[in-house]
Structure 1
Amino acid sequence: MDGGSGLNIMYAKMLDEMGVDRTNLCPIRAPFHGVVLGRQAIPLGLIDLPITFGDQSNYRTKTLSFDVLGFPGTFHAILGHPCYAKFMTIPNYTYLKLKMPASHGVITIGTSFRRSYEYEVKCCGYATTIVTSEELATLREEVVEETPDAKRLSRSPESAEGSKEVLMDPSSSEGKKVRIRTALSSK
């Protein structure tokens, strides 16, 4: 349950495990943010699925729309505001409970703090891995783009063109200087 999510999200792996054919997805190209920190996600498509809460003696079934993501995640699905509104649920994050009205009383769904913590750690580790791998790929691209050309390599390190001398420690009386370039790229 995610009280901050404006979407119901399901991962493609879960859809496959349920035996739902991906040809049932309605195309959607609207990106959204927040699944992976600082990155946008574009869903594979949208699917409507019947969802049931409760047991045989007291249950509710409604059809929910899910944005299906093609990359792996730590959860099977994320239920957001659309689910809460449709089922008229009341989440209690302190006790990790979700309550909703049904024909024979209140349905209560809950989990343990231990399980919640384990998923949180797994989710944070997974997000960090994705962000780190994407940052590494970006750094590799930048290094390739900034490979020095032959003209630049032919200059001697002592060349004064486009550089100036700066005191290393302005408060020191030694007067040691270093030469720095004045025409560096923004990167």
Structure 2
Amino acid sequence: MGIGLDKLRPSKLPFHGVAPGKQVQPLGQIDRPVCFGTAANFRKEVLTFVVVGFRGAYSAILGHPCYAKFMCDVECVEYAEALVLDETLAAQLHEMAEEAMDSKQWHAGNFEPAEGTKDVPLDPKTPDGKALKIGATLDSK
């Protein structure tokens, strides 16, 4: 891009994920104006780019801050509607889970033990008869 290193601001925060298993120390950062869209419908914002000292598969990777700056009103509305649908679905699932837990269908008596089980007292010092059923073929360890 023809920008000298003297134009970069220091950047002390390393980042990960560019070189597999390695931490990358940037050369610096710079603010540049970026324009997205067409001649008839565009938007211009200043984005901060982190500059590295090696060639990569991409000239730039635009992350969450970029998407947040360029998200238009239609996308915001669609995103908000999707969140409402997610919240509605989550509420319905929560209701269904509560109903299932309250119903008698989840009573432990409905489960049949597997064959080859034995009773193991919960507390051998207490003769209250409370026990667990475990597989009789389990290793003693």
TM-score (norm 1): 0.37
User: Quick check: which has more Rg, 1 or 2?
Assistant: 2
Larger proportion of strand: 1
Answer 1 or 2: higher relative contact order, Cα 8 Å, separation at least 6.
1
